[in-house]
Structure 1
Amino acid sequence: MTNAASASSGPSRRSFLASTAVATAAVAGGMPLLAACGGGQEGQKDGATSGKKAAKILPAFVASQVVTPDIPSKNGSPVGFTKAIPAAELKTSVAQKLGSGGKLTIMAPYWGAPPKGDNPYYTAMNKAIGVDITWQNQDGVTYDQKLGAILASSDIPDAVVVPDWNLTGRIPSAINAKFADLGPYLSGDKVKDYPNLAAVPTDAWQRGIFGGQLRAIPMPSSYVTGMAAMYRKDLFDKEGYAVPKSPEEFLSWAKEATRAKSKVWACDDMKWSALQIFGVQPGGDKALWWNMEDGKLVNRIETEQYLEALEWTRKLYAAKVVHPDAVSGKAGGSAANRFTAGQVLVYNNNISDWWGKTAEQRTQNPDFEMGVFDIFGPDGGDPTLWAGQPGGMFTFISKKASKQQIKDFLALCNFCAAPYGTKEFMLTAYGVEGTDYTVKNGLPTKTQQGINEVSSTYDLTGNPAPYVAYPDFPDITRGIVEWQQRMGAFTKKSTFYGLTVTEPTRWANLADDFEQLEDDVVRGRKKISDVQQAVADWKKKGGDDLRDWYKKLLDDNGSAN
């Protein structure tokens, strides 16, 4: 788990595109980001809204018919587009300019050096939408600090983007105090004024309810896991390795494949995959840590599966089949570099890396080939997988905004939620042809200016239903969607799936130390018994009280699942 996106990976749904051969793989909603929904709500009770109350608030769903995907959604997977669509065949999803020509200032996280405000991409987008938008781009790595300071002040921008992993401390209560209710503009059939927003799945909109009101435009994501164990298929084929199909087989193979003297190790840190293999609920959103089992709410850290996952990962480290840099805790963004260098044969990360690393490596190594393991269960049978949240980034508009500003804001979001294969999508994702991208062999390819400027702004404010589109590698597009279709068949939704839950402030940091403890245990610095003791302490310090609070929340509201 990680608290922040790395510098090269702004978590944008637009990362599911082929933008250039100089690929920067992006985290696209699937990374198990550690999030806590802490903070009491001002003017609202702690908790969540579901059931009949939510039904009155949620927008109607009207699926988009503008473009037909090449691969349909199945078992909760994204849809897939395998081809680039020529400019002459692009459809129109916004028939008339909805913006009034007014002005909006928007604060958003940005990974990398932000561009100048008068660049051709911003100018073209503002003109097409009909809104004069000024971006206040902030460093994505330290965004939570800036966000907390801005929301604590009386002077906030007109609109603010908030990733779900920044919903910590007092930020949720500030959201309820500072941002407008969009229900009067979007609830029920009202959303039909904004057809691209009407095509956003209902599950994602449910996540946009904060403090009993529809306050956020959500970034939809597939609830099927995007965290995958990827392997060097080219090197597996060369060595004659079979893909392991159980934890036991994996450990046995890993011992055979590790050749430390030749600087080759079987794997990098595999904790994220281990938690999936052993059926542990996701470690991202805190509400997903809980599930009703045999009439009792049980937290993921209380389960046998949690301990089994840590124990299996510990065995990998103890067998010295894990790269030494991962042992020393350098398991972040450099794991993929160890993988492409051939120093590790398996690593886990967001499955978008399948495209990102392939596009990056094929320019220098035409034989480079990756594959993805299907997740197996503890005995080698079918796994038990858990749904992630169906939306992970939110855009809000200030309570001080005028009605016209809110309408201009919705015009922006509707434009940016245009589906793949439309003119609006092409402008949002690629920018201005000839400046931000060129078309080579039928494929749009970003220029260096496009790489620098077309990122982490408009694409965060509105997104279509989940999709994968890598037209430069259609086989990978198909591979990703079909993998998620297969994994979706084994995916269950836990009790608080789809809800944005605001935990009372007094318990917001209760489980903060578990991530570090997990990492210490798998590396042999702590023992499984230390985890059991930490769970016992967690119960006494408020875990049991938090369980009662969640149970009452469930009794009062029902599940959204």
Structure 2
Amino acid sequence: MTPNTSASAPSRRSFLASTAVATAAVAGGMPLLAACGGSQEGRKEGTTSGKDAKKLLPAFVARNVVSPDIPAKNGSAAGFTKAIATADLKTSVEKKLGSGGGLKVMAPFWGTPPSGSNAYYQAMNKAIGVDVTWQNQDGVTYDAKLGAVLASSDIPDVVVVPGWNLMGKIPGAINAKFADLGPYLSGDAVKDYPNLAAVPTDAWQRSIFGGQLRAIPMPASYVTDIAPLYRRDLFEAKGYGVPKSPDEFLSWAKEATDAKSKVWACDDMKWTSFNIFGVLSGSDKALWWNLEGGKLINRVETDAYLEALEWTRKLYAADVVHPDARSGKAGGDAGNRFSAGEVLVYNQNISSWWGKMSEQLTQNPDFDMAAFDIFGSDGGDPSLWAVQPANIFTFISKKASKTQIKDFLAIANFCAAPYGTTEFMLTNFGVEGTDFEVKKGLPTKTEKGVNEVNGAFDYTGDAAPFVAHPDLPEVTKGMVEWQQRMGAFTKKSSFYGLTVTEPNRWSNLADDFEQLEDDVVRGRKKISDVQQAVSDWKQQGGDKLRDWYKKLLDDNGSSAN
């Protein structure tokens, strides 16, 4: 039977990156040819779309194995609220596509990696026909490990690259080190891999690096995945209404905070603040830019950016933010503070709605939470910006043989199986009796399954975005409908849906802004320091980078449609 899991579950589409969760997106890009240049071998600056991208993109052939209870709308995922009996599961991979050969895969892992000989890995290898050896690396320091590996002459056969690691020289190294998948996937060739053919075209567009189709993408909703999550049970107990404007939120936060009782209104709210004030997305460097009134504007140059930082600063100044967030513990511990009732609101990937509910209901049946709708800076409708249509990618080495590339695609095709299939079940739950047991009609992971069926094969392939939590159908409904409501106010900026390789000389230009933002909202620096940093950024190359991006638009048009 189909699971109490989801394409948006933390192991599949949400990962902690710095102080925010970075994830994927959906929908399409048009124009932009690759610009010339770059001294690194294999590097191709710019991006590819329009007619040139059409030659590279796989054909799209939908797979309607199970009809969703809640169809996708406004860029949302589809929703499945019901379990499917084991006897009714479909088969999406008719025969083993693997050759029986071996591949070494490097991927990030949060926690203690499982033994390489565990039952889950063995069952997946047998079902696919490929002997995969996992080289799991600490997800917290993965960027450093990734940079070192890509700078060397000896890289693993397959490498997973989260989108937030596409910084500095890594994009250029990707172009130089990884194989072109176009001969195997472009056009009708993808039909040899039916589950990959059902991956949305927009996610494939995002997988074009250096003028070639190089990656297997992890597609997801393009609606912002950072949601303001609140303790609905505690709100109801106190008689609080959900705030509907920045001023209302601050006023409520002052009322709700009781430091003596160890209750604070919220945790760090910077990323929700960016959404409230309509700041261009910070999830990908290309999304920092948008054409406005004939001029290309960067997010850090906007009034909205400063206003968002100022409002977040006010929350800290009013002492309504948990003190651990001020001291720098805004990431991994925020969820624990929320669960404990020490904070009533925090922002996190919307998949945490299901994660927290399923975790807490076993020990506190009264626990309840939800995501409130993002309001605009004036209390009206928000102005939101789409995130990228894929933000985690898996590549195979340029040194790989044809057989190895086909084995890689066999893995990806198996793991991209849609909801309601035996392949999906094995990929997400492992071996019955070892990794999961059926309880009350639902497969439930054992302790071994929780530790081992996690952060591995699910990186290498994924279906069109969906949410499927039959154990908590109301949460599934809430998550998808929140995406649908927010999607109605979501726009696509000029470089939406494209992977852009910036010139090396400017690729690290904006790296210090996130730390500066955190210092400003916590009162360690001032808004004027941000304004000075923006001025410095312009002089040190920001204006030239603007001209470079503008040429892409002038030559090929905007990708937003």
CA 1:245–1:41 in structure 2 vs 1: closer, same or farther (change >3 Å)? farther
**1:441-465 CA distances to partner (integer Å, 9 max, x unpaired)?**
0111111111121111111000001
- TM-superposed CA distance for 1:306, in Å, is 0.5
CA contact (8 A) 2:316 2:522 kept: yes
- TM-superposed CA distance for 1:33, in Å, is 3.8
- TM-superposed CA distance for 1:43, in Å, is 3.2
CA contact (8 A) 2:57 2:201 kept: yes
User: What is the aligned-residue identity percentage?
Assistant: 75
The equivalent of 1:544 in structure 2 is: 543
**1:251-276 CA distances to partner (integer Å, 9 max, x unpaired)?**
11111111122221111111111100
Task: Map 1:393-432 onto structure 2 (within 5 A).
Answer: 393-432=392-431
CA contact (8 A) 1:40 1:502 kept: no
CA contact (8 A) 1:16 1:470 kept: no
Amino acid at match of 1:508: S
CA distance in 1 between partners of 2:552 and 2:453 (Å): 42
- TM-superposed CA distance for 1:558, in Å, is 2.9
* Alignment pair present for 1:484 and 2:483: yes
Amino acid at match of 1:96: K
The equivalent of 2:132 in structure 1 is: 133
Amino acid at match of 1:161: V
| SS in structure 2 of the partner of residue 365 of structure 1 | coil
CA distance in 2 between partners of 1:384 and 1:48 (Å): 27
The equivalent of 1:535 in structure 2 is: 534
**1:48-104 CA distances to partner (integer Å, 9 max, x unpaired)?**
111111111111111112221111100000011112211101011111211122222
The equivalent of 1:174 in structure 2 is: 173
CA contact (8 A) 1:40 1:503 kept: no
- TM-superposed CA distance for 1:559, in Å, is 2.8
- TM-superposed CA distance for 1:498, in Å, is 0.8
* Alignment pair present for 1:16 and 2:8: yes
CA 1:283–1:32 in structure 2 vs 1: closer, same or farther (change >3 Å)? farther
**1:485-539 CA distances to partner (integer Å, 9 max, x unpaired)?**
0000000000001111111111111111111111111122221111111111111
Amino acid at match of 1:205: W
The equivalent of 1:8 in structure 2 is: none
The equivalent of 1:261 in structure 2 is: 260
- TM-superposed CA distance for 1:44, in Å, is 4.0
CA contact (8 A) 1:429 1:454 kept: yes
Task: Map 1:62-81 onto structure 2 (within 5 A).
Answer: 62-81=61-80
Amino acid at match of 2:233: D
CA contact (8 A) 2:76 2:487 kept: yes
**1:195-247 CA distances to partner (integer Å, 9 max, x unpaired)?**
11011111110111010000000111111011011111111111111111111
CA distance in 2 between partners of 1:25 and 1:186 (Å): 23
* Alignment pair present for 1:471 and 2:463: no
CA 1:111–1:300 in structure 2 vs 1: closer, same or farther (change >3 Å)? same
* Alignment pair present for 1:103 and 2:95: no
CA distance in 2 between partners of 1:29 and 1:166 (Å): 12
The equivalent of 1:333 in structure 2 is: 332
CA contact (8 A) 1:40 1:173 kept: no
**1:326-353 CA distances to partner (integer Å, 9 max, x unpaired)?**
1222211111111111111111111111
CA contact (8 A) 2:13 2:220 kept: no
CA contact (8 A) 1:200 1:220 kept: yes
CA contact (8 A) 2:23 2:392 kept: no
The equivalent of 2:28 in structure 1 is: none
CA contact (8 A) 1:32 1:282 kept: no
Amino acid at match of 2:14: V
CA distance in 1 between partners of 2:467 and 2:154 (Å): 38
Task: Map 1:340-419 onto structure 2 (within 5 A).
Answer: 340-419=339-418
CA distance in 2 between partners of 1:29 and 1:199 (Å): 28
CA contact (8 A) 1:413 1:462 kept: yes
- TM-superposed CA distance for 1:471, in Å, is 1.4
Gaps of at least 5 residues in structure 1 are 1-12, 18-22
- TM-superposed CA distance for 1:25, in Å, is 11
The equivalent of 2:158 in structure 1 is: 159
The equivalent of 1:446 in structure 2 is: 445
* Alignment pair present for 1:27 and 2:27: no
Amino acid at match of 2:119: P
CA contact (8 A) 2:268 2:346 kept: yes
| SS in structure 1 of the partner of residue 417 of structure 2 | coil
Calculate the TM-score normalised by the size of structure 1: 0.93
| SS in structure 1 of the partner of residue 500 of structure 2 | coil
CA distance in 1 between partners of 2:178 and 2:313 (Å): 45
| SS in structure 2 of the partner of residue 124 of structure 1 | helix
Task: Map 1:282-321 onto structure 2 (within 5 A).
Answer: 282-321=281-320
- TM-superposed CA distance for 1:127, in Å, is 1.1
The equivalent of 1:209 in structure 2 is: 208
CA contact (8 A) 2:8 2:14 kept: no
Count of aligned pairs? 541
CA contact (8 A) 2:289 2:495 kept: yes
CA distance in 1 between partners of 2:44 and 2:433 (Å): 52
CA contact (8 A) 1:25 1:356 kept: no
CA distance in 2 between partners of 1:45 and 1:448 (Å): 46
- TM-superposed CA distance for 1:26, in Å, is 7.4
CA distance in 1 between partners of 2:491 and 2:159 (Å): 32
CA 1:222–1:543 in structure 2 vs 1: closer, same or farther (change >3 Å)? same
CA distance in 2 between partners of 1:521 and 1:498 (Å): 31
**1:135-172 CA distances to partner (integer Å, 9 max, x unpaired)?**
11222221122222222222222111111111122221
The equivalent of 2:29 in structure 1 is: none
- TM-superposed CA distance for 1:297, in Å, is 0.3
* Alignment pair present for 1:114 and 2:113: yes
The equivalent of 1:459 in structure 2 is: 458
| SS in structure 2 of the partner of residue 269 of structure 1 | coil
CA 1:15–1:28 in structure 2 vs 1: closer, same or farther (change >3 Å)? farther
Amino acid at match of 1:360: E
CA contact (8 A) 1:28 1:352 kept: no
CA distance in 2 between partners of 1:426 and 1:337 (Å): 29
The equivalent of 2:83 in structure 1 is: 84
CA distance in 1 between partners of 2:11 and 2:44 (Å): 42
CA distance in 1 between partners of 2:361 and 2:173 (Å): 47
CA contact (8 A) 2:7 2:465 kept: no
Calculate the TM-score normalised by the size of structure 2: 0.93
CA 1:432–1:34 in structure 2 vs 1: closer, same or farther (change >3 Å)? closer
Amino acid at match of 1:551: K
CA contact (8 A) 1:339 1:345 kept: yes
**Mean Cα displacement is larger for which, 372-381 or 357-366?**
357-366
The equivalent of 1:5 in structure 2 is: none
| SS in structure 2 of the partner of residue 345 of structure 1 | strand
- TM-superposed CA distance for 1:401, in Å, is 1.3
Amino acid at match of 1:69: P
**Mean Cα displacement is larger for which, 551-560 or 180-189?**
551-560
CA distance in 2 between partners of 1:137 and 1:295 (Å): 46
CA 1:493–1:24 in structure 2 vs 1: closer, same or farther (change >3 Å)? closer
CA distance in 2 between partners of 1:349 and 1:411 (Å): 33
CA distance in 1 between partners of 2:497 and 2:373 (Å): 25
The equivalent of 2:33 in structure 1 is: none
The equivalent of 2:32 in structure 1 is: none
